[in-house]
Chains A and B, each alone.
Chain A
């Protein structure tokens, strides 16, 4: 059972912006960095954001990450059809002594 909670789905028109929330606790998001992954249909997850707000080389600045308290947010601007995928947040949970992931959010472009 996932420790981090995400909305099941979000959608917006092409070119618009979406935000995906990831709710946790002081054991995970509240005191650790957050990462975000994009999983296109039938493929492996891909790192989008690490250390809460950093983008790996090659990830466009349309993707951004932030955190406030025990919640994190992934933002996607200029939404494209190629962004249709599942998105997962992740963090270390110090109480569990384990890595944890969010429940996942499906992004649809209308």
Chain B
């Protein structure tokens, strides 16, 4: 079954770090670009950027540079999102989402992980 399975919910204190995993199954991770999308509870979707799973080269959207890092473990078919120096405003559900092609003018996400809730609270 083709799916993306993400790691579970995390509760972190301000200033800590978190690493969210996204395991691809049913297809080869390196065949598709992977994006990350943030959703603050009760709000809309924000595109965070993507990682080229063939080269490991990440691209970050404005507002997601510096503290956010996309990475891969291709041997484990897994993509990662790490957030450092966590702030309360980082509290959100983070989704990994697969891009079926690399044509940006036709950007769309055909497969989504179930989401990982990261809560930042003292």
Q: Chain A residues in contact with chain B, CB under 8 A?
A: 2, 31-33, 35, 37, 43-47, 50-51, 56, 88, 90-92, 94, 96, 98-104
CB-based nearest A residue for B104? A92
Given A44-B112, A44-B113, A44-B115, A101 and B105 contact (CB-CB distance below 8 Å): no
Q: Is the CB of A44 within 8 A of B35?
A: no
Q: Is the CB of A56 within 8 A of B110?
A: yes
Is B106 close to A, CB under 8 A? yes
Q: Which residues of B contact A45 (CB under 8 A)?
A: 37, 45, 95, 97, 109, 112
Q: CB-CB contacts of B90-122 with A at 8 A, as 1s and 0s? A: 000001010000001111111111110000000
Assembly CA distance A33 to B114 (angstroms): 25
Is B75 close to A, CB under 8 A? no
Is B61 close to A, CB under 8 A? yes
Q: Is the CB of A2 within 8 A of B107?
A: no
Partner of A90 from the list B45, B95, B112 (CB cut-off 8 Å) is B45
The interface on chain B, measured as residues whose beta carbon lies within 8 A of the other chain's beta carbons, has a size of 23
Q: Which residues of B contact A102 (CB under 8 A)?
A: 44
Q: Is the CB of B105 within 8 A of A35?
A: no
Q: Is the CB of B44 within 8 A of A44?
A: no
Assembly CA distance A2 to B35 (angstroms): 18
Partner of B108 from the list A44, A51, A104 (CB cut-off 8 Å) is A51
Q: Is the CB of A98 within 8 A of B112?
A: no
Partner of B107 from the list A56, A90, A103, A104 (CB cut-off 8 Å) is A90
Partner of B110 from the list A43, A47, A104 (CB cut-off 8 Å) is A47
Is B1 close to A, CB under 8 A? no
Assembly CA distance A104 to B45 (angstroms): 8
Q: Is the CB of A96 within 8 A of B62?
A: yes
Q: Is the CB of B47 within 8 A of A99?
A: yes
Instruction: Give min CB distance, A35 to chain B, whole Å.
Output: 4
Q: Is the CB of B44 within 8 A of A35?
A: no
